Amino acid sequence: MQLRHVTAVVAVADIGSMRAGAERLGISQPALTKTIREIEAITGVALFQKTVRGSIPTDAGKVFLARARSIVEEMKRAQEEMGHLAGVREGSVTVGLSVGAALLSGDAIETFMRDHPDVRVCVIEGLFDQLVTGVRQGKLDFSVGGLSSAKSDDHIRVDTLFENRIVPAVRRNHPLARAKSFAELADCEWAVTNDDPAYIANFSNHFVKLGLPPPRIRLRSESFFSLLEVVPRTDLVLAISHTLLAHPIVARYLQPVLVKEICPTARFSLARKADVPLTPHAAALARHISKAAAEIRRQDLRVVALASPRALAARSR
């Protein structure tokens, strides 16, 4: 098996056509067809099947493709690293961000781009657990997000950046905007920003621990901006991370409900391959994002300190 076999499989799978795949690789269609037949002979299985929609991977092809994409991406990163060592300044970073991470990483990305004017940045947005899969497959250098059930393993390293409090928020002038406890929100319908069963279970269990019935979740959406369109038009209560709620765009439409109880938490994390180092450019961007997360941690500690009984008593004197 050679690298040309691997790149041929990826090209055909990406485009779904032998002809277009050959154009991408800069070779003739017969040459690409021969290369695909060679790799199928080597593996002993058919990797593609012809349909009216073009050439699509077989089940075996899908398994091979997952490895092939990772190989191709790692080869690109190896080439970029060698170029960096040779003094080449150009490069690229592909990072996966949840919507919360995207809103919180603006300053970090801006600083990185200013410090590395010749480096291209590609941002892929999605739910964090889906983005971890992108890291595992080699499509992403690393991913950042919250509300994750992902854990470190032999292939993926997940580092917690800070703990997110999941707080209730409502539209401006909501009749329960001044509610003081989760009990006052027990009869409300809720919206959540994550459809992960582990997250839903953790959120519901928090109500049970408070002696309340599980929340009635009326709306689940992977698109936060859809929620930002719907929630301000309804009486839904949105379960949202406190850091995201503090963003100026979000604060314009939603306000927190300051309940007295402790709110549930979820990790805000950075995921990367455990057995492969980040490229120098990816490592630099990861440091900028980690620095921004550290500042959020410091701000949270100051808020907790100011809200402590001792601090409150001191201010009352």
User: What is the mean pLDDT of the segment spanning 152-159?
Assistant: 80
Residue type, 306: L
By percentage, how much of the chain surpasses pLDDT 90? 44
Cα distances (angstroms) measured from residue 204 to each of 42, 88, 217: 51, 52, 9
Q: What is the DSSP track for the chain? A: --HHHHHHHHHHHHHS-HHHHHHHHTS-HHHHHHHHHHHHHHHTS--EEEETTEEEE-HHHHHHHHHHHHHHHHHHHHHHHHHHHTT---EEEEEEE-HHHHHHSHHHHHHHHHH-TTEEEEEEE--HHHHHHHHHTTS-SEEEEES------SSEEEEEEEEEEEEEEEETT-TTTT--SGGGGTTSEEEES---HHHHHHHHHHHHHTT-PPPEEEEE-S-HHHHHHHGGGSSPEEEEEHHHHTSHHHHTTEEE---SSPPPEEEEEEEEESSSPPPHHHHHHHHHHHHHHHHHHHHHHHHHHHTSHHHHHHHH-
The HSE-up count of residue 302 (CA atoms within 13 Å, CB side) is 6
Q: Give the pLDDT confidence score for residue 307 in this predicted structure.
A: 43
Render pLDDT for 53-93 as a digit per residue (tens, 0 to 9): 888 999 999 999 888 888 888 888 888 778 777 777 788 89
Q: How confident is the model at residue 308 (pLDDT cuts 50, 70, 90)?
A: very low
Cα distances (angstroms) measured from residue 227 to each of 48, 100, 168, 170, 234: 40, 13, 14, 11, 10
CATH architecture of 82-161+267-306: 3-Layer(aba) Sandwich (3.40)
Distance between CA atoms of residues 167 and 169, nearest Å: 6
Q: Which CATH number fits domain 162-264: 2.170.190.11, 3.40.190.10, 3.40.50.720, 3.90.1150.10?
A: 3.40.190.10
The lowest-confidence range among 22-26, 136-140, 203-207, 254-258 is 136-140
Whether the pLDDT of residue 293 is over 80: the answer is: yes
Q: How confident is the model at residue 145 (pLDDT cuts 50, 70, 90)?
A: confident
User: What is the mean pLDDT of the segment spanning 199-223?
Assistant: 89
Domains of the chain, residue spans: 3-71, 82-161+267-306, 162-264
Q: Do domains 82-161+267-306 and 162-264 have the same CATH topology?
A: yes
Q: Give the pLDDT confidence score for residue 121 in this predicted structure.
A: 94
Q: How confident is the model at residue 300 (pLDDT cuts 50, 70, 90)?
A: low
The lowest-confidence range among 9-18, 150-159, 272-281 is 150-159
Q: Give the pLDDT confidence score for residue 174 in this predicted structure.
A: 95
Q: Is CATH 1.10.10.10 the right assignment for the domain spanning 3-71? A: yes
Render pLDDT for 103-115 as a digit per residue (tens, 0 to 9): 788 899 999 999 9
